[in-house]
Structure 1
Amino acid sequence: MSRLHARVGTIRQLEILCALKDHGSVMAAAKALHLTQPTVSMQLRKLSEAVGMPLYFQVGRQIQLTDAGLAVVASAREILSCFERLDMNLTKMRGLTAGTLRIAVVTTAKYFIPHLIGDFCQLYPDINVELKVGNREQISARMAEGIDDFCVFSHPPKKAEYLLTEFLPNNLMAIAPHGHALSKAGRIPLQEFARAPVLMREQGSGTRYAIERHMEKHNCDLNVRMTIESNEAVKHMVMSGMGVSILSEHALSVGDSSGLVVLDVEDMPIKTNWFLVRSRSRPISPVAEALLDYVKQEDRLAQLTTMLPGE
């Protein structure tokens, strides 16, 4: 039997190393864990000494983990997850549902996931939620690391090790500013729309991924004028007359969309769906299982659809 566990430091040290990986600096890790920087540095040094190899190095102001550090983080996440599941299971045995739910969502999902989680937490008020938001590429990276209970995608990575639960439609709509030459036309050919200057989300965005697959399917090239990393910025740039765009109906239902018109374009909208995605290899916690059961209830989804902003 390996005696590594006798040399490697405390659970707290493993938690600190994970925080260092997630936040990229000693200062940020200390802030996230409500510890002082000297305490974090000392515990990391002790852990490195126990492992017998450097776990990280500094590049400018950012921390990079060594291969040994990444290996320790991977095992540390498993160990910490075991403790979390034990805590949740013991709580469940006492007739309560409590613990931490970790969920990561692509940018557009931030418009409706709070409504879903808010109602869920009213049923289980002892649950803590950690919510991360990023583009499709960033959330895919988190999914590969197994950090979260669930990730929310409209176009999840197609891998056998992931379990997908479809739960809500996500239609992508062609938009233009009021008064645009196309705004009063009916059944605009897709090729004609594509010739207009198009404002696009950045590479790595799920919206852009869906648009590019749709245009490939219809053998159509977009006249991309500008790349923008924010749905809200895209809307305001369209309203200012810089071009047309394609955005999720959820992005259009919040904030200021008064200067926009949805265009009647052939082969549009692009019909996609939202998925809750989890790793087959990550044991499902009682809290995550409760959320999955909650999402699968059709009346819950109907209620969510009617309460979306702007609906």
Structure 2
Amino acid sequence: MRQLTFRQLRAFEVIARHGSFSRAAEELFLTQPALSIQMKKIADEVGLPLFDTSGRKVRLTEAGEALRVLAREVSDSVARFEQVVDDLKGLKRGRLRLAGVTTAEYFLPRLLGPFCAAYPGIDVELVVANREEVLERLRRGDDDLYVFGQPPDDMPVESAAFLENPLVVVAPDGHPLAGRPPGTSVSLAEVLEHPLLMREKGSGTRIAVERLLAEHGLRPHIRMELGSTEAIKQAVLGGLGLAVVSRHALATSVGLTELAVEGFPLLRHWYLVWPAGRRLSLAAGALIGHLSG
């Protein structure tokens, strides 16, 4: 095992996480043949097969699972060392890893611009994914900070609110409910006369909408579930139904109308989240102060 390198362990951990050589190759900016050669070197060093490739998805053997635990421990140790080094250097150099739910793509890059200008020596990595994927990254501790519209309540985390997140009801331009006189609102009952387009179960937006409707004893007719806000917007434009989205997602939208609905906008916040008890790097602390200060 003395011949294993950190680069090889890192590549192995990425394959194990994705369950796919192709997706791992994309993340690592390697070709699949080059990645396969590295994995063969590891298997030869271990003396046992690491992957079961008999099905569509790559699965770990017993030896592979043991190596995955080792790779994760090594990665965590290196990350802790890098954090200590970054702290010793102050904020002249460093790396900040962020992961956020999909709607964050509409505002987070814009907010990161001034931060990166203030700290040009900090390299920022941003991953955008659906809520379940970001939660899984949080469980594994892949990143320094996580962006949620609603922090998880089933994990020990700390959070800091940094931006208002008003949720609004949207319809395509010309929809019958969009022509109300100024100062008049649409009732929830009228909204539910039309099919709704909803995010996947567990998303922060869906949780907020379901709570509101439950408070009024209402049940929606959900025509379709979609995995991203952009897909929701396109479905609304296609006339498939109404939807509730973050107002931030409408900044550059054409063809959508925000409806004046009673009880809306639902006033929420965006949060920076991190595991409870984790020592934050100087870069992570600087971002929290920059966005929430």
1:118 aligns with 2:116: no
Deviation at 1:89, TM superposition (A): 3.1
Contact (CA 8 Å) 1:7, 1:51: kept in 2 or not?
A: no
Give the residue type in structure 1 aligned to 2:267.
K
Structure 1 residues 70 and 296: CA distance shift in structure 2, 3 A: farther
* Counterpart check, 1:276 vs 2:276: no
In structure 2, the residue matched to 1:29 is: 24
Q: Cα offset for 1:190?
A: 1.2
Indicate how the Cα distance of structure 1 residues 58 and 129 shifts in structure 2: closer, same or farther if over 3 A, else same. farther
Amino acid at match of 2:203: S
CA contact (8 A) 1:88 1:287 kept: no
1:221-266 CA distances to partner (integer Å, 9 max, x unpaired)?
Answer: 112223333323433433343322211101111232xx33222222
Partner residue in 2 for 1:202? 200
**TM-score if structure 1 supplies the norm length?**
0.81
What residue in structure 2 maps to residue 189 of structure 1?
A: 187
Matched ranges for 1:93-242 at <5 A: 93-185=88-180, 186-242=184-240
For the pair 1:263 / 2:259, whether they are aligned, the reply is yes
Contact kept in structure 2, 1:105 and 1:151, CA below 8 Å = yes
Q: Which amino acid aligns with 1:216?
A: A
Change (3 A) 1:34 1:169: closer
Match of 2:290 among 281, 287, 294: 294
Given the superposition, is the C-alpha separation of residues 199 and 36 from structure 1 closer, same or farther in structure 2, using an over 3 Å criterion? closer
Aligned match of 1:10: 5
Give the count of matched residue pairs: 290
TM-score relative to the length of structure 2: 0.85
Q: Distance in 1 between matches of 2:245 and 2:267?
A: 12
Distance in 1 (alpha carbons) for counterparts of 2:79 and 2:197: 44
1:156 positional shift? 2.0
State how far apart, in whole Å, the 1-side matches of 2:90 and 2:226 are.
Answer: 48
Paired amino acid for 2:290: Y
Instruction: Kindly state the Cα deviation for residue 105 of structure 1 after the two structures are TM-superposed.
Output: 0.8
CA distance in 1, matches of 2:143, 2:167: 27
For 1:229, the aligned partner's letter is: G
CA contact (8 A) 2:95 2:283 kept: yes
2:248 aligns with 250
Q: Among all aligned residue pairs of Structure 1 and Structure 2, give the percentage whose two residues are the same amino acid.
A: 41
Describe the SS at the equivalent of 2:176. Answer: coil
1:88 CA drift (Å): 4.2
1:247 is paired with a residue whose SS is strand
In structure 1, distance between residues paired with 2:52 and 2:151: 33
Q: CA offset at residue 96 of structure 1?
A: 4.4
Work out the CA distance in 1 between the residues paired with 2:16 and 2:67: 11
- State which of 78, 81, 93 in structure 1 corresponds to 2:76: 81
- Is the 1:146–1:282 Cα contact (8 Å) retained in structure 2? no
Contact 2:91 2:122 in 1 (8 A): no
- Structure 1: state its 5+ residue gaps: 1-5, 298-311
User: Contact conserved, 1:135 with 1:204, CA < 8 A, in 2?
Assistant: no
1:104, distance to aligned residue in structure 2 (A): 1.0
How big is the shift at 1:67?
Answer: 5.7
Work out the CA distance in 1 between the residues paired with 2:124 and 2:49: 33
Distance 2:278 2:4 in 1: 24
- Are residues 1:56 and 2:51 paired? yes
Relative to structure 1, the CA distance from residue 148 to residue 239 in structure 2 (aligned partners, 3 Å threshold; closer, same or farther) is: same
> Alignment partner of 2:174: what SS?
coil
1:135-178 Cα distance to aligned partner (Å, 9 max, x none)? 11221121111111111111221135211111111111012233
Q: What is the CA-CA distance between 1:39 and the residue it aligns to?
A: 4.8
